[in-house]
Amino acid sequence: MTMKKTVPFVTFRTRVRDASLPGPNPYYWKDNTSDDYFSGKRVVLFSLPGAFTPTCTNQQLPEFESLHGEFRKQGIDEIYCLSVNDAFVMNAWGKSVGLQNVKLIPDGSGEFTRKMGMLVAKHNLGFGMRSWRYAAVIDNGEVEQWFEEEGFSDNCQTDPYGVSSPQNVLKTLKASAAA
């Protein structure tokens, strides 16, 4: 689906690894803005309910990772995974799944997700406020294509996954390029 939307401007608090720092936690704080992630490039952003959760960890994130090269062939500069989790959780999650290509964006406060209109309550699962599952193709900060899972609602009893899958996003990109 095509939509006219600009990504909101927010500041993300991230942690960056620096091997020159002593101790068991060689990271420093770095603020990255929406402009740092989205300006001047064409990206796929996918957002999911949480790091270390079953569908997110076992399907969505590794499938985007494995199809990274195919997305590059379609003119995608970066693939970003965003979740309403803090930088510590996102870094540990990325390390645990051996990410090489997909970049993780911690939306710890949920500000970006709220401003995208995708913040939902997941109190029924003990999560609190989280992102609804969606993906988007974003060109220089403008949403070019939108892939939102059906059933958007607070405390949804199901966890739909398919519309925002990398296979569906890639199929849509290929069809658009062929048109």
SS3 of 21, please? coil
The contacts of residue 143 (CB under 8 Å, 6+ apart) are 3, 4, 5, 6, 7, 136, 137
Beta strands, E only, the chain: 11-17, 27-33, 42-48, 78-83, 103-106, 119-121, 129-131, 134-139, 142-148
- Position 67, amino acid: L
Catalytic hit among 43, 44, 48, 56 = 56
Helix (H) or strand (E) holding 172: helix 166-178
- Concerning whether 56 is annotated as a catalytic residue, the answer is yes
- In this structure, the number of other CB atoms found within 10 A of the CB of residue 108 comes to 17
Q: Which residue has the tokens 């062929």?
A: 178
Residue numbers annotated as active site: 56
